[in-house]
Structure 1
Amino acid sequence: MTATEMFPVEARPNVEELPIGLQSASFLQNLLGLVAETLEDVVGLDDAAGFIALVGQQMGNQINELYTQALGDRPLDAKTVAHILVDLKNRIEGGFFLIEQDEERIILGNQRCPLGSSVVGHPSLCMMTSNVFGVIVAHHLGYAKVCIEQAIANGDQGCRVVVYTQPTAAAQAAKGREYYRIEPV
């Protein structure tokens, strides 16, 4: 029996019209969530965060290069850097906003993770944000310490990210990751 005999053309389902929520963005978000889950299960949360941190550092370098080229490869002030952090996250469908900024820190909020709902339960994925922010801030301001105080990944309603831009006593006391400008050799 042939396929045509088994499923005459008129009886064959039109698969293109099926109500299946499978688009590129949701597929990639789900994929990333599964990668994080697998890493966390196999190597543990700390090592998974380390792997994701390496990817985040590379992404941070690439994204920083895009903004640096677009802005003319000139020194940037802290206000411009803060706007870059918000802009880049919102370009990838995050819901980031500036809460507060002073000479020592940038405080950001977020109501929508660019990685979608797949991030919930996978805090290792927050290393992507930490490293991207840390690389960009340190490149332009010389120093960054990124502290993710609240995270959607941890089940919080939103994210609160504090980026210290100077190695003050408050920065040293805060729990987070430090980043430094890498000078060319």
Structure 2
Amino acid sequence: MATVDTESRRVPLIQLDIPLERDLFLRNLIRELSGVLEDIVGLKEASGFISIVGQNMGNQMDLDYKKALGVSRLTRAQVADVLVDLKGRIKGDFYIVEQNDNRIVLGNRACPFAAEVVGRPSMCMMTSNVFGMIASQSLGYAKVTLEETIARGDRGCRVVIHLQPGAESEAAPGQEYFQS
């Protein structure tokens, strides 16, 4: 066991009050990486880099849920439930506000990145891409609009996943996703 001398006594380092554990370390790591990207290449480009990671993670999560459920495609209701479940597993607090054939609207009271997300809106591209990939792979199309985000200083998040191309989705800002 590692120890340190402090005023003539040996204290095990593990007993020191240092806010360092894996979850916090990884959240801080992602925050710092996104901050460096935002500072060097700008918010738009940083969001683009993070989008690529989110797409890859979204594809994997989509496959994992389909395999666990024993299905090749998720229904709209399953997509909504999967999005809430996956965020809950990583300490988010997403919930379904509404859903119909045209869209799924989710609210959120707690970001999986916790306080480390504040001021780092590029990190929200993880949510956009994971949600967009899962929805589009089963339903054919998705456009994700991040109407409110904790990262931008809102009290919570409001995420709209448009499920049909058309006037409503065209008018909404956001990223489009298509079935591959």
Q: Could you say which TM-score interval applies, normalised by the shorter chain?
A: over 0.9
After TM superposition, the structure 1 = structure 2 runs for residues 35-184 of structure 1, keeping only pairs within 5 Å, are 35-182=33-180
Q: 2:30 aligns with which of 29, 32, 45?
A: 32
Larger Rg: 1
Decide whether aligned partners of structure 1 residues 137 and 14 sit closer, same or farther in structure 2, where only a CA change above 3 A counts.
Answer: same
Aligned-residue sequence identity (percent) comes to 51
Quick one: distance in 2 between partners of 1:126 and 1:7? 44
Quick one: distance in 2 between partners of 1:33 and 1:7? 33
- Structure ranking higher in strand proportion: 2
Report the Cα offset of residue 73 of structure 1.
2.9
The CA RMSD over aligned residues, in Å, is: 1.4
Quick one: distance in 1 between partners of 2:61 and 2:162? 20
After TM superposition, the structure 1 = structure 2 runs for residues 5-20 of structure 1, keeping only pairs within 5 Å, are 7=5, 11-20=9-18
Report the Cα offset of residue 54 of structure 1.
0.4
Quick one: distance in 2 between partners of 1:123 and 1:68? 29
TM-score normalised to structure 2 length? 0.94
Q: Which runs of 4+ in 1 moved over 3 A?
A: none
Q: Structure 1 stretch 70-79 or stretch 156-165: which is displaced more?
A: 70-79
Number of aligned residue pairs: 176
Report the Cα offset of residue 115 of structure 1.
1.1
| Paired AA for residue 143 in structure 1 | Y
Report the Cα offset of residue 7 of structure 1.
4.8
Quick one: distance in 2 between partners of 1:79 and 1:123? 28
Quick one: distance in 2 between partners of 1:165 and 1:100? 13
Decide whether aligned partners of structure 1 residues 7 and 97 sit closer, same or farther in structure 2, where only a CA change above 3 A counts.
Answer: closer
